[in-house]
Structure 1
């Protein structure tokens, strides 16, 4: 390959890496660019590795006096520095999560995996095989609501269970919505002895609150009804939700005494990833820029603005129900441009005031949906933290 081609190819790659590394530290003006930023922030080990290789190639060409080689080396070096900043903050996040988990559950809740591994960053998560059964009807309402069940490869009895609630602004999404997060978490928990139910719920604008929440409660009732056949302990169930699914998981967990479909399984705890917890504030203080038209999503869910249907907003706000809250894990990216981290901040404060066990882990570099890249920096820490939290709450029952 001609030397000039190598030099200019190195420069082009270095510029791309620098732009990606810069995006980690910027506010994105569109949803598409926010996804680019999300990937760059979570895949910083790859950016660093590629930057080092590109810089090495450029350094080897410095003797030729090439301006392209000098520029490539400078761009690659700056890209490495910018990409390394999130990685440098990971140990503090891990230490904070560890401290909070020990405070909540004592020293007996040991990590089932390293909170972060560079090997996993490059090779991906390795999860043992589990049994999967898809599209199981659990409630018949305007067509069947269905769930996918993930179970350990060896049958057992009285296992703890997890109910997973997908995101999508209440108006889109589905069970198993992404092979990079929902199903990978479900498989991981099943490989560790849990029975996992990944559930559907009815979507807006065809329905409004409280219908989606009631559908999650119906899934909990299904878990209790099927506990004997599925080998599940209905007194040890944890809800996990993302985004809008986190909102529904929190509501269902805090209102699990309500019985739209019969007696639900007992909720031992809830894991909420970047979910809205104050819908009035969510409408009155929208994201800027508003990448998904969050106000429209709230109007679809609740049938109007807070000025028109304030009681519905209050009823659908998880913070309203902290008096009946269960142990809660909150995972939220501090760079989230869709659901402000103040939602998790405020809920954590209110839970602490009530004496409810809460673990709140903010990820300084992460945006909305960061766990979709489960081998990413935040994705690894989130899964490891969730595994320890869930183990702690089911062990205490």
Structure 2
């Protein structure tokens, strides 16, 4: 009986690779289940193998165990399937007239062996990039491992606009530095004390600081890329589309809310997050009170034919920021003829890139590197 109970629990967990999590802690479990699948496969195999002996409910347990194993393995199978055409699809959607000098990653987008790899972070230096009357803001600078003046990726963290900091998910920052990109991971003014568009102003001031110190930091001031996650993606997109800064050559959107008006009308599951309260704290009122502010902080409202190339990355099982945001942004970019690519991850949930070596983490990291190499035009030597 204990074996059967454990296998039923594992089966229920495995369903998180297919269905959206119905509650907060199950959302956290979904990240683990979908991006560390081999751990759960191993446990399921051990418990299922126990059934070779004459144990109670052997057949039922074996059937449940096999189904759980297949579901736990499904992100791996699906990641491999997407990886087969990922490079070709990105080249097609992002190609320029002259692609002869573009260096695409010299590795497969997904490798089973990498699921066992560990992640390391590289040292960074912290600088104060702006001082306001009531606060000052810092950034963490990861220097490129390739010599010379290099493009710089400005990373904006997530956290519902009210939490998080510049040291969130540093593994990708270290990876990009190894590949020849400077990374400036920033702190910004947080809600509810500060409201939109204050964080966009912070991005603008950060770009100003990086330009002023470009010689010492070895930054190519013609090549800035904005990368944001969740709430940070909304800030990065809005800055990329409204600052009209020619040096911003691309924006990378990890599961960001692109349509704040629509997002308010369809709130997330309250057992996971009170999304309307989060938006009110950031925007400064309910939609009924300040409808114009919801529109002016919706990035897709500002997409036009001069918008920078955009990479969208979103999991279909996202329970905090609806997948529909990315569909709407993708449609608006298509309408305006903006070069962009949308990496769709059917099994992934919000925050899937917590593990950059997981199925979703590998594909998104490959997509980010390919996007950066494409738009920067002079990629680092592998």
Regarding TM over 0.5, the answer is yes
Provide Cα deviations, 1:196-235, integer angstroms capped at 9, x if missing partner. 1000000011011110111111111111111111001011
Q: 1:30 aligns with which of 17, 23, 45?
A: 23
Aligned to 1:316: 297
Give how far 1:32 is off.
Answer: 1.3
Could you tell me the TM-score, scaled by structure 2's length? 0.91
CA distance in 2, matches of 1:212, 1:173: 13
Give how far 1:289 is off.
Answer: 4.5
Aligned to 1:3: none
When residues 34 and 392 of structure 1 are mapped into structure 2, their CA distance, relative to the original with a 3 A threshold, is same
Give how far 1:389 is off.
Answer: 0.6
When residues 218 and 290 of structure 1 are mapped into structure 2, their CA distance, relative to the original with a 3 A threshold, is farther
Q: 1:51 aligns with which of 37, 44, 64?
A: 44
Aligned to 2:114: 120
Aligned to 1:301: 282
CA distance in 2, matches of 1:234, 1:122: 38
Kept after mapping to 2: 8 A contact 1:146/1:200: yes
Aligned to 2:198: 211
Give how far 1:334 is off.
Answer: 0.5
CA distance in 1, matches of 2:337, 2:228: 23
Aligned to 2:141: 149
Give how far 1:273 is off.
Answer: 0.4
Aligned to 2:232: 245
Give how far 1:353 is off.
Answer: 1.1
- SS in structure 2 opposite 1:307? coil
Q: In the alignment, does 2:80 pair up with 1:91?
A: yes
When residues 214 and 88 of structure 1 are mapped into structure 2, their CA distance, relative to the original with a 3 A threshold, is same
Moved over 6 A (4+): none
Kept after mapping to 1: 8 A contact 2:223/2:247: yes
Could you tell me the TM-score, scaled by structure 1's length? 0.88
Kept after mapping to 1: 8 A contact 2:228/2:254: yes
CA distance in 2, matches of 1:190, 1:148: 12
Q: Structure 1: which 5+ runs fail to align?
A: 1-7, 258-263
Q: Which moved more, 1:22-31 or 1:226-235?
A: 22-31
Give how far 1:292 is off.
Answer: 1.4
In the TM superposition, 1:60-71 aligns within 5 A as 61=53, 65-71=54-60
CA distance in 1, matches of 2:55, 2:354: 41
Aligned to 2:104: 110
In the TM superposition, 1:1-397 aligns within 5 A as 10-11=3-4, 13-59=6-52, 61=53, 65-103=54-92, 104-105=94-95, 108-125=102-119, 130-134=122-126, 136-141=127-132, 142-153=134-145, 156-177=147-168, 182-257=169-244, 266-289=247-270, 291-323=272-304, 324-395=306-377
CA distance in 2, matches of 1:49, 1:38: 17
CA distance in 2, matches of 1:85, 1:111: 25
- SS in structure 2 opposite 1:271? strand
Kept after mapping to 2: 8 A contact 1:256/1:266: no
- SS in structure 1 opposite 2:20? coil
Give how far 1:74 is off.
Answer: 2.7
Provide Cα deviations, 1:57-95, integer angstroms capped at 9, x if missing partner. 432x2xxx3225444433321211222233222233224
Give how far 1:193 is off.
Answer: 1.1
Kept after mapping to 2: 8 A contact 1:24/1:41: yes
Provide Cα deviations, 1:92-143, integer angstroms capped at 9, x if missing partner. 3224532331111258442244322222212334x5x744113x10000222
How many matched pairs?
372
Aligned-residue RMSD, C-alpha: 2.1
Q: Which moved more, 1:136-145 or 1:327-336?
A: 136-145
